[in-house]
A and B are shown apart, each in its own frame.
Chain A
Amino acid sequence: MEKEKVLEIKNLTKLYKNKRGITDINLDIYEGDIFGFLGPNGAGKTTAMKIMTGMMTADSGDVIIFGHSVKDSFEKAMQNVGCIIETSEVYSYLTAFENLKLISHYYKGVDLARMEEVLEITGLLKYKNEKASNFSLGMKQRLGIACAILSRPRLVILDEPLNGLDVEGMVEMRNLIKKLSATEKTTFFISSHLIHDVELTCDRIGIILDGKLQNVDTTENILKDYASLENYFMSEVDKNGKL
């Protein structure tokens, strides 16, 4: 059976005044994918993700999420999307629980039990009544992830989700992503500079260099030809004359 297309990026272009940005990106993400978006700093990963989530407008092209354009039907497109872009932002003057309660207004069917559940999943249950201003970077990241998965979204877009997490947190995050993908068929679109972690987590990989999408393949296929994802990444970089 053919998988549902969850996310379609069509001819997406956004150029900044310094002529950097992204150019003509085309990409399809299917239900259940754990897609890893790899690229060096400044390659255009965050720009693409910001356009996907409505934080930026594209110069041309479009992003279709669950059949809805983010340009024309933003609310419908984002109904089943959770995301963290660049940094995990929370209201620092509220507690972890109050942050979740506030965000729950946007979604139907999020009850107190679900809030407790996501706090448990992200290991924040015992800190639920502490103000976010007292949280470490890692705890804020966990709270951001709790907010992102609160509504049981079918697509989760995570930009550098492991930032600020300790080793234990990284392993837990990886397991959480895999668990949600397996049990709830949640689709993930993840950017990370931690190649090893992407290799262990993602089942499809796309490489972006200088604002252009170079190659998209499954992790399984890549590892047939290369000893590690890092080798593959470096060969793609070499091919494009970056080193």
Chain B
Amino acid sequence: MESFKASFAIEVEKMYRKKKAVIILIMSILIIIFVQLITTIIRSNLGIIGTTASGFPITVLAVFSKTILPLFTALVVIDTFTGEFANNTMKIAITKPVSRLKIYTSKLAATGFFILANLIVVMVLSIIVGAVFNIETFTLVGTLQAMAAYLFTFVPIMVIAVVIAFLANVFKSSVTVFFMSIIVFGISQVFGVILTSYSNIFITTSLDWYKLWIASSLPFGEIIRQILYMTAYVLIFFTAGFYKFDKRDL
């Protein structure tokens, strides 16, 4: 466990020492400004409210969780696996007293930490912005619902990270992994819409599962079904990804 903790601390520190972390933070803030700008334009031009204090963070999440966040997650995962293999820095970790399973898991755990941190930053900022611009509709329940929506979004994004980690251990080029991730994400989105009766099979469908948790009554059956699909994805892609990572000669 000590070696895992050490490896996790190192992965997190590496992630945040790169300039990408700052760019990601700036982009996250920009998306909040973008959504607020759209809302203000709708409100002033069309004369409709546009959103509420608790509705604003949810609107931001709807955009953020399907665009910028998966994109950033892909970049971080690619950097941590393919990038380190390409830069030869992977051997720094491989030759230390820590098993490959712990390295692989700690890299994913650090990615999870990044996703969670990113979601929390956007959540806090969007709640503040939503409250400031829509103070008359601010409620505590609405805010708690928004917080729950953000925290539950962590799960499907983490599943996507595990899938991308598999791709990052199959292909050697960062560019190939990036485009493969986009293709897989795009196909999953399209088929999730076209094949509605099989939509749960496609991982991107789970990006909407936060809606299940903030619904007026909890649809337990649907939640369990989505949990099972996501568990299956993690089991399959974590195992396959680690197998490739473990067998790779440097």
Contacts and interface: CB of A to CB of B under 8 A. Distances in A.
Contacts of B247: 57
Contacts of B217: none
Secondary structure type dominating chain B contacts: helix
Contact of A105 (B6, B89, B94, B100): B6
Contacts of B250: 50, 55-56
Nearest to B6: A105
Contacts of B98: 75, 106
The 5 closest A-B pairs by CB, nearest first: A78-B97, A105-B6, A55-B250, A56-B249, A53-B95
Interface of B: 3, 6-7, 9-10, 13-14, 17-18, 87-89, 91-92, 94-100, 247, 249-250
Contact of B94 (A54, A76, A87, A90): A54
17 contacts: A54-B94, A55-B91, A57-B247, A75-B97, A75-B99, A77-B97, A78-B96, A81-B95, A89-B88, A89-B92, A90-B89, A90-B92, A98-B17, A103-B10, A106-B98, A107-B97, A147-B92
> Which of A77, A78, A79 neighbours the largest number of chain B CB atoms within 10 Å of its CB?
A78
A83 B95 contact: yes
B162 to A, nearest CB: 24
A-side interface mostly: loop
Interface in A86-140: 87, 89-91, 93-94, 98, 102-103, 105-107
A97 B147 CA distance: 40
A85 B10 contact: no
A105 B10 contact: yes
B238 to A, nearest CB: 20
Contacts of B249: 50, 55-57
Interface residues of A, number: 28
Given A94-B17, A105-B6, A105-B10, A89 B97 contact: no
A74 to B, nearest CB: 6
Nearest to A82: B95
A106 B95 contact: no
B17 A93 contact: yes
Contacts of B6: 105-106
A93 B95 contact: no
Nearest to B95: A53
Given A55-B91, A91-B14, A106-B7, 15 more contacts: A50-B249, A55-B94, A55-B95, A55-B250, A56-B250, A78-B97, A87-B88, A89-B87, A91-B17, A98-B17, A102-B10, A102-B13, A102-B14, A103-B10, A103-B92
Nearest to B102: A75
A54 B95 contact: yes
Contacts of A53: 94-95
Contacts of B100: 54, 74
